[in-house]
Amino acid sequence: MENITISKLTSWKKNKKKIAAITAYDFSFAKLFSNQGIPVILVGDSLGMTIQGHNSTLPVTVKDIKYHTQSVRKGAPNVFLLSDLPFMSYFTSTQAIQNAAKIIQSGANMIKVEGGKWLITIIKELSERSILVCGHLGLTPQSFNFLSGYKVQGKNEKDANKLIEEAFLLEEAGIRMLVLECIPALLAKQITENLSIPVIGIGAGNSTDGQILVMHDLLGITDGKIPKFSKNFLAENGSIQNAVQKYIKEVQTGLYPDKIYSF
């Protein structure tokens, strides 16, 4: 695979080439996903649930993210690697800079943070230090307790307008990519069309610039309640390799997610 950069991903948005992304947490799956043509991998704090067995992302530490980022980078040297800054690891600008540096040094190209207006100063300080930042709006799993669970966000006009405003503010502050999670498809479309940076959706319809899924959801091995937006690509495709290829194709052609997998 050719080396994937943020400039390349931004050009894909301009040329309307969809981006297929997936989470990974180890060398073997990262290598498999890269070999099938996945351009973007996220070392997500979802590892708290998928790898560590917690009921939320909150217990995940910077040390955990560093370890899994190193493993994934070894398996996928050319993908664009995105890693989460975990809960309470970016409470202040100083803390954010120190922890982001550790994760970038572990192999990530970009770090991802969850939240809106309160992050503006932190994003500016990270960007000024040449650290690429991805925002995350909508359902933000690190706010699990505050949101009283995992619920669709932006359903009424007031909440939708707030998300639109925050998306613009985060881009102005310096984010170079945005994840929209569990928001109505029409709202995601509006935000995507009005930002110049790549917008990646998860449970946000098929009008975003790309999609991301937790690998366990894509492979149908999620334990417990399956999210509405998740599709088991392994069930009808025989092998993990075929499932990943099918996922990439359906993202690129806009077949996934259709209305069944959208809000």
Which pLDDT score, from 0 to 100, does residue 141 have? 79
pLDDT (tens digit, 9 = 90+) per residue, 34-66? 999 999 999 999 999 999 999 999 999 999 999
Spatial separation of the C-alpha atoms in residues 31 and 22, rounded to whole Å: 12
pLDDT (tens digit, 9 = 90+) per residue, 144-157? 555 555 578 888 99
Closest alpha carbon to 208 in 232, 234, 230, 177: 177
Active site residues: 181
Could you identify the residue written with the tokens 């948005």?
13
Return the structure tokens found at 122.
Answer: 């932190």
Residues in contact with 218: Cβ distance below 8 Å, sequence separation at least 6, in sequence order: 22, 230, 231, 232, 233, 234, 243, 244, 247
Closest alpha carbon to 108 in 201, 177, 42, 51: 42
Which pLDDT score, from 0 to 100, does residue 224 have? 73
Collect the ranges in the chain with pLDDT lower than 70.
Answer: 144-150
Stated pTM of the model: 0.96
Strand, helix or coil for residue 8: helix
CA-based R_g, the chain, Å: 17
Domains of the chain: 6-261 (3.20.20.60)
- Annotated binding-site residues read 45-46, 84, 112, 114
Which pLDDT score, from 0 to 100, does residue 89 have? 97
Closest alpha carbon to 91 in 64, 122, 48, 63: 122
Which pLDDT score, from 0 to 100, does residue 150 have? 59
Query: Measuring CA to CA, how many Å separate 156 from each of 54, 152, 153, 187, 191?
Result: 31, 11, 8, 10, 15
- Annotated binding-site residues for 3-methyl-2-oxobutanoate read 45-46, 84, 112
- Annotated binding-site residues for Mg(2+) read 45, 84, 114
Which pLDDT score, from 0 to 100, does residue 145 have? 56
